Chains A and B, each alone.
Chain A
Amino acid sequence: MSLHLERTDFAIIADWIKPGSSVLDLGCGDGTLMTFLQQQKQTRGYGIEIDDDDITASIRNGINVIHMDLNEGLSEFDEDSFDYVILSLTLQAMQSPELLLKEMMRVGTEGIVTFPNFGNWKSRLQLSLGGRMPVTKNLPHTWYNTPNIHLCTIKDFEDLCQSLGFRIIERRAVNHVHKSSLGLKLFPNLLGQIALYRFRRA
């Protein structure tokens, strides 16, 4: 379900996390990000995963992984249980992104979300000029078999955060090698391929 994350992305997320914090990683895959955060920031916490092979891999990697369907919310976690709740490249595959974002802000103090930016010029070009649903490096599926059922742009996401009453603390837009540039800072929604956000309750 989740797309591949390069290590540079981990570095950005790790930069945002205070040492020794508690982390809930939603859609933790094989536990690579959790392992990275444990090593870099001495974090503790749990990963949530639904894929059988990823669960086995996370366990093998020594990560606390809990089998759970994110579409059913996070009701098993109490309010304010974690310093950070991370959702990396998974938001777009959720049945109700709005519900999950609210859940993240219920159980965590700070939310970190990354997603493929559908407002990127390549997507825009493929749809507007090509007349077809975009297929890009970050969104490699075709419309009929994609798990990504709720794609959004940077502007869309910020609108949603505002309507949910979230305060965005930091935004980064990066290209496919997860590098930032002046262009990306000026035109994030046009040039950014992956968007990274940290936010809190307002």
Chain B
Amino acid sequence: MSKKVEKSRGEMISFMLNGAEVQADPKWSLLEAIQFYGISIPTLCHDEGLTPYGVCRMCVVEVGNGNRTKLVASCMHPVTGGLNVRTHTSRVIKTRKMILELLIARCPSSKKLQDMAAMLELKEVRFDPLNDDCILCGLCVRMCEEQMVAKAIGYAGRGMDRYITTPFDMTSDECRKCGACMFICPVCELRCQGPQAETTLCSGCINTEPVCASIYGEAMCFMVPCLSCIKKPEDVKA
């Protein structure tokens, strides 16, 4: 992004990243620095062109030394000198998986989430699915406000009842129907059709087999091969 180029080339500061001493611009967030060094960590509510929001917590990394370590959201955390950052410790991975499990249980139809599940080797979802359409990452709200300068949508409700809507749930004059919110949405961009695997969108997706249903009610796991049931896709489709 042009944003980075504009930044002055001031003093670089060094910190430890997965055991190696690296240098970074003090204006970067930890996530920017980590990505700059080619390390891939999953994010859901982050976009380069938007203000970091720090809510999905997928980008957590472990910082600190010895027994005094903690998890921080790398998209919000500034790069500070002497920081000891580790991006793939067992604590980090366990946390990311748990968060993803919660999100998939909320929103099983998202292909992005399903693909992430495959990437993180999430093997089972232990919660009943809610079949919601939104993970409340807030990308659309920030897109609308910051890039489209419309402020047509925002949050309503609190806690579990939180949702994204137009003011007073009515058609808003502010909305120019530009579609940027849909473009940036990680959930509605591509729909995983789950068990109805015949549709075009889902043909590319092989993480569709419903297993574990006998144990976990209507919940399902999306792993191929499904390790808990030891079935392969061929077995299912045959």
A and B: bona fide binding partners = no
Partner-B contacts on A (CB < 8 A):
none
